[in-house]
Amino acid sequence: MLTTPPPAQPYEDEISLLELWRILAKRKALIMVSFLLCLAGGAAFAFLTAPVYEASVKLRVGQVKGEEAAPPVILESAEELSSRILAEYGEDVATGVKRERPFIAAASVQKGVTTTVQLTAEGDTAEDAVRLLGDVVRGVQKAHAAMFENNLKPIAERLKSLDQQRVELKQQYADLTQLAEKLEEHDNVQASLLMLERSSVIDSLNQQATERLSLSQQMMPPATRPTELIGEIAAPAKPSKPRKALVLALTAVLGMMGGVMLALVAEFVSKETLTGPPSPKA
């Protein structure tokens, strides 16, 4: 005859939810102390730590359009620019040596836009962060302005040459027209030859106009543009660090969790002290 085995007894160290609640209620003072200590520490950190202000701006590197089939000439690659700015104005001066605020905390190439660098400055005051960003941007624009002019110089010289040639061709056209009108009454053949020569001058003028238009378009945005800001450098209204609300919330959660863990440990130690170690089996 089959017999039903007795139900398995729960493990002695298994704690039910009701027992857990009883322990937490019993040790609520310990939990409250842990909570208040952590919250006080978080409040001290949040309100006593010196505030840090951040200001950010985007800087678009300039370029000059080259020949029709050639890609634009970038004044300075965004990666090189960001590395140069961090080396000159970043927090790390050398190995183990830090720069005091204000400094450039980040200089990163904007994702998907390889000619745009986002700069973030940290300062003890909002004015410090804004002033540093302004100095950095003006320094970059000044350096790039020289590169910009040097790259535009050949195009500008070619346009100047075309303008001089155009003046000469227009004068030649006027002279040929005047001479052809005089000869038309006496020598039609010579007048016809002059008119043919005048047609070649017109062709030259048209070719120059086409080239001048192409060169002018190369010098206009967006094909050609200097290094410029995207937006304005605005002073931050409040500090970025420390984030007081976040610090207080985290310390409150950690204090509560720590209090619960301490309550469970205290209850375990109390039971071990009262019952003593288990007697060895015979």
pLDDT at 121 over 50: yes
Tell me the pLDDT of the chain averaged across its residues.
Answer: 86
Whether residue 274 is predicted with pLDDT greater than 70 in this model: the reply is: no
Whether residue 82 lies inside any domain: the answer is: yes
**Res 251 pLDDT > 60:** yes
- Is 3 within the bounds of a domain? no
Quote the pLDDT of residue 277. 59
Please state, in angstroms and as integers, the Cα–Cα distance from residue 54 to each residue in 14, 108, 228, 237, 250, following that order. Answer: 52, 15, 21, 10, 23
Is residue 4 pLDDT above 70, yes or no? Answer: no
Tell me which long-range contacts 130-134 makes (C-beta under 8 A, separation of at least 24): 130/55, 130/233, 130/234, 130/235, 131/102, 132/89, 132/102, 132/103, 132/104, 133/55, 133/56, 133/57, 133/233, 134/233
Q: What pLDDT does 5 receive?
A: 57
Q: Count the domains in the chain.
A: 1
Cβ atoms of residues 64 and 148 within 8 Å: yes
- Is 139 inside a domain boundary? yes
Confidence of residue 1 (pLDDT cuts 50, 70, 90): very low
In a domain? residue 263: no
Residue 95 maps to a domain: yes
* Residue 219: band (very low, low, confident or very high) from pLDDT cuts 50, 70, 90: confident
157 in a structural domain: yes
Burial 116-153 (b: 16+ CB within 10 A, else e): bbbbbbbbebbebbbbbbeebbeebbeebeebbeebbe
Higher pLDDT, 188 or 248: 248
In a domain, 17, yes or no: no
pLDDT at 46: 82
On whether residue 28 sits in a domain, the answer given is: no
pTM value is 0.68
Domain that holds residue 139: 38-246
